[in-house]
């Protein structure tokens, strides 16, 4: 998949499809995330994990456990496994509000899927 060429709507449709097709990695995870993605094709998105199910949201998901803010470009790199969330945080490319441990958990979770 060529993430850098895909529109955010396509990417979130693919995230939704992959999480629904294989819920093994999300078993036991109960957490909600918001993504404030800046730059061209940016916007607000959300992910909620509960009872072995994943839901994706377009637009502001409301109150979440972990809020992430980053550029669309860096989000695509993170999804593709080409950006370490800890390094991105240290360089100021990723801002986290709420439970930072959940942000680290998310990166490990995403590595189990092929985006």
- Its domain, for residue 54, covers 3-110
In degrees, rounded to 5, the angle at the alpha carbon of residue 7 between the alpha carbons of residues 13 and 46 is 50
Residues 6 or more apart whose CB falls under 8 angstroms from that of 17 comprise none
CATH number, residue 61: 3.30.1050.10
Q: What is the pLDDT of residue 111?
A: 86
Q: Tell whether 104 is covered by a domain.
A: yes
Residue 16 exposed, middle or buried by CB count within 10 Å (0-12, 13-18, 19+): middle
Q: How many domains does the chain have?
A: 1
Q: Tell whether 115 is covered by a domain.
A: no
The tens place of each residue's pLDDT in the chain, 115 residues long, gives 688 889 999 999 999 999 999 989 999 999 999 999 999 999 999 999 999 899 999 999 999 999 999 999 999 999 998 999 999 999 999 999 999 999 989 988 988 888 8
Q: What are phi and psi of 59, to 5 degrees?
A: 95, 180
Q: What pTM, to 2 d.p., does this model score?
A: 0.92
Q: Determine contact, residues 71/37, Cβ cutoff 8 Å.
A: yes
């Amino acid at each position: 998949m060529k993430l850098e060429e895909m529109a955010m709507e396509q990417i979130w449709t693919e995230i939704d499809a992959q999480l629904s097709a294989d819920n093994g990695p999300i078993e036991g995870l109960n957490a909600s995330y918001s993504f404030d993605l800046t730059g061209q094709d940016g916007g607000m998105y959300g992910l909620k994990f509960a009872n072995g199910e994943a839901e994706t949201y377009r637009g502001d998901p409301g109150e979440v456990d972990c809020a992430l803010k980053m550029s669309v470009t860096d989000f695509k790199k993170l999804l593709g496994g080409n950006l370490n969330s800890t390094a991105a945080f240290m360089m100021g490319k990723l801002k986290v509000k709420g439970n930072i441990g959940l942000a680290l958990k998310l990166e490990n979770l995403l590595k189990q899927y092929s985006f």
